[in-house]
Structure 1
Amino acid sequence: MSLLGGTSFNLLQQSMDAVWTKQLVTMQNLANVETPGYKAKYVGFETVFKKLIGSNDDKLYPQIQATVKEDTATSMREDGNNVDPEKENLELLRAQIQFDYLQSKMNYRFNSLEHVISEGRK
């Protein structure tokens, strides 16, 4: 258990790392939109998170691990590239909103700790 808040703090940190990975992969897809044969990649972590939420095992310390996978099932163009720029831009926006939300939750945690520490001095 961490001094900064235990499991919930660790989940926040891991979630931020996973969303950051999602942003990087999405930007890589957008950078390769004109590369012949390039297959779009995506980050799968949300399904792992949903499985962890449903668990009632108190001894389980959830781990969020982003896994990068390749979409080989589709093809957008004749040259084999399957990157859809509109979809990727929406995913990038979604990931940014998720990251901002997680960052605000992390800031709230730190502000709460700071308040507890400063009130303890009085």
Structure 2
Amino acid sequence: MNWLGSDYNLMTNAIGRTVASQKVIANNIANVDTPGYKAKRLVFNDVLDTQMKLSLKRHTTIESNGSIVDRSSNMRNDGNGVDIDLEMSELSRNQIEYEALVEQLNRKYAGLESVIRGGR
């Protein structure tokens, strides 16, 4: 029996997903000036099939770490496919999602603490 509840597992998994996404986004930003670098996105198994059907066509590649490389959008003559504005907006969105999830998890812990202390 999981005394923390199923929502605890969902929240911790979602937090892990945001941390992994943060690493991929940071890597894209770090390579904004690398010739030939293609921007990557992290896709998770439960949405992979849907994403592949909806948006992934012949110009994308799935790497072994689960990230997807979009080979169709060369923004510059040097072949670099990083859109810094998109990366910064994704970074902000991901940060907001992370903070919201951590806040929910903190509230869950505060509720458990209240129960343990007898409502005091």
**Partner in structure 2 of residue 118 of structure 1:** 117
Q: Deviation of residue 78 (structure 1)?
A: 1.3
Moved over 3 A (4+): none
Aligned AA for 1:84? Answer: D
TM-score by length of 2: 0.78
1:27-86 alpha-carbon deviations (Å, 9 max, x no partner): 1000000000101001124963xx8xxxxxxxxxxxxxx932111121111111100011
TM-score by length of 1: 0.77
What are the ranges of 5 or more consecutive residues in structure 1 without an aligned counterpart?
A: 52-65
**Partner in structure 2 of residue 90 of structure 1:** 89
**Partner in structure 1 of residue 16 of structure 2:** 17
Describe the shift of the 1:94–1:47 C-alpha distance in structure 2 as closer, same or farther (beyond 3 A): farther
What are the ranges of 5 or more consecutive residues in structure 2 without an aligned counterpart?
A: 51-64
Describe the shift of the 1:46–1:89 C-alpha distance in structure 2 as closer, same or farther (beyond 3 A): farther
Q: Deviation of residue 4 (structure 1)?
A: 1.8
Describe the shift of the 1:112–1:46 C-alpha distance in structure 2 as closer, same or farther (beyond 3 A): farther
**Partner in structure 1 of residue 98 of structure 2:** 99
Aligned runs of 1:1-122 on 2, under 5 Å? 1-5=1-5, 7-45=6-44, 48=47, 67-119=66-118
Aligned AA for 1:30? Answer: I
Aligned AA for 1:12? Answer: M
1:74-101 alpha-carbon deviations (Å, 9 max, x no partner): 1111111100011100100000000000
